[in-house]
Amino acid sequence: MARGGYPGMGGGMGGMNMNNLMKQAQKMQKQMEQKQEEMAKKTFEMTSGGGAVKVVISGKKEILELKLDPDVVDPDDVEMLEDLVMSAVNEAIRQVEEVYNKEMGGMTGGMGF
């Protein structure tokens, strides 16, 4: 085995400069933290039932606002209202995840992070 490296790799980490690799990793980590902060400040709005239910959530997936059209509040059909609320919340969460994955995926360059 070659001194200070692996056979056939030209010594070290195949000629890679560990300092540069560490700097790149730190830079990427900082960029990811900035993107996460930006996402936390964003809001996402989704409606269901033709606008009868509206939900606004943050990029942290926290519900900030929930509005119900009084016409959709039917004590004899609570299940429909529950379904509309669940649908709006789930779709808003999907929007957050889609934007997050798109922004983070672009940053990592498809590295699988």
Overall size of the chain counted in residues:
113
110 or 20, greater pLDDT: 20
Residue 110 has pLDDT above 70, yes or no: no
Segment among 5-9, 13-17, 32-36, 68-72 with least mean pLDDT: 5-9
Tell me what pLDDT residue 3 has: 53
Pairwise CA distance, residues 69 & 87, whole Å: 15
78-96 pLDDT, tens digit per residue, is: 999 999 999 999 999 999 9
Task: Please say if the pLDDT value at position 1 is more than 80.
Answer: no
pLDDT band at 55 (very low <50, low <70, confident <90, very high): very high
CA distance linking residue 10 with residue 20, whole number of Å: 18
For the chain, list the domains and their CATH numbers. 18-107 (3.30.1310.10)
Torsion region of 19: left, alpha or beta (phi above 0 gives left; psi -120 to 50 gives alpha): alpha
Decide: 72 and 53 in contact? Cβ < 8 Å.
yes
Given a contact cutoff of 8 angstroms between Cβ atoms, the answer to whether 12 and 5 are in contact is yes
User: Integer distance in angstroms from the first to the last C-alpha of the chain?
Assistant: 33
Cα-only R_g, the chain: 24
